[in-house]
Structure 1
Amino acid sequence: MSEALHVVCPHCDGVNRIPADKLSAGPKCGRCHKALFTGEPVALDERRFETHVARSDLPVIADFWAAWCGPCRAMAPIFERAAAGLEPHARFVKVDVDANPQISAKLGIRGIPALFAFKGGKVAASHSGVADAALLKSWVERLG
């Protein structure tokens, strides 16, 4: 039997234990019974963000953005394609910095888009500005 990983549900934030070899089999949440992986970035507020980062055994790749930011709009489709291609090896999340200024302050974000990779509840990597899919893929491969 393979190692079990904690995976936070993108819908109800329930924490699920999933055998690592079953991640690609379309697991569903034990609480809300919805798919644990949607292939899309999950929009999070501060409370939900803390849950996903602290409770997930998967790397969490976060895009900190704002609606008025041109480079953020350029980053959005790259981030969406990465989520579609790299789940279930990581959880991709988006945090609106205007709606969640506390997170920006806590992480010292001074410019957006700001990309962060978290592993074990801690920052494992970060990048300021628009990035390509290769950077996101390298983070997932290194942290996964």
Structure 2
Amino acid sequence: MLIVCSHCHATNRIPEGRKASEGQCGKCKQTIWQGKPVDLSESQFAKYTSKNDMPVVVDFWASWCGPCKAMAPAYAQVAEQMKDQALFAKVNTENAQQLGSQLNIRSIPTLAVFRNGKEVDRIAGALPANQLQQWIQQALSKMP
């Protein structure tokens, strides 16, 4: 299984059956995935969403957005709870305007689930932790 390190963004091979949260990066020697959302730049987004064999949940947000800030703790909580089911990332749309336009992000916060570089599901608006986890589990169940 291929997993992109949440620290240095190097691609690592993890043996089947082993959890990404247990793997150590061959490049930076840190734990590959710690269950905390990773801040992605525009240039890191494509690699992170297409080179991971695990699904990637992305929160598109902005610093001026009140609902984005209100949902951030719930998003971090769900990332920790689901750390062996999906990877979690955040993209600041103020810094990644071209990406936001390319992906047709019209309102924030917008959450999207990616698998092998393709968007699987999307929802707009802030959600409490329990609804967020339920939506992610539903999106993951749609995947082959």
State TM-score, norm by structure 1.
0.91
Q: Map of 1:14-29 to 2, 5 A cutoff?
A: 14-23=10-19, 26-29=22-25
2:138 aligned with 1:138: yes
Seen in structure 2, the aligned counterparts of structure 1 residues 64 and 138 have a Cα distance that, compared at 3 Å, is: same
Paired residues in the alignment total 140
Distance 2:57 2:143 in 1: 10
Q: What is the RMSD computed on CA atoms of the aligned residues?
A: 1.5
Distance 2:36 2:21 in 1: 17
Gaps of 5+ in 2: none
Deviations 1:21-61 (A, max 9, x none): 11166110111110011111000101111110111111010
Deviations 1:59-86 (A, max 9, x none): 0100000111011112111110111011
State TM-score, norm by structure 2.
0.91
Q: What residue is the counterpart of 1:39 in the other structure?
A: 35
Q: CA contact under 8 A between 2:21 and 2:33: conserved in structure 1?
A: no
Q: Map of 1:64-75 to 2, 5 A cutoff?
A: 64-75=60-71
Distance 2:3 2:44 in 1: 13
The percentage of aligned residue pairs carrying the same residue is 35
Deviations 1:97-123 (A, max 9, x none): 001101100110110000000011100
2:36 aligned with 1:6: no
Distance 1:24 1:92 in 2: 12
Distance 1:115 1:124 in 2: 11
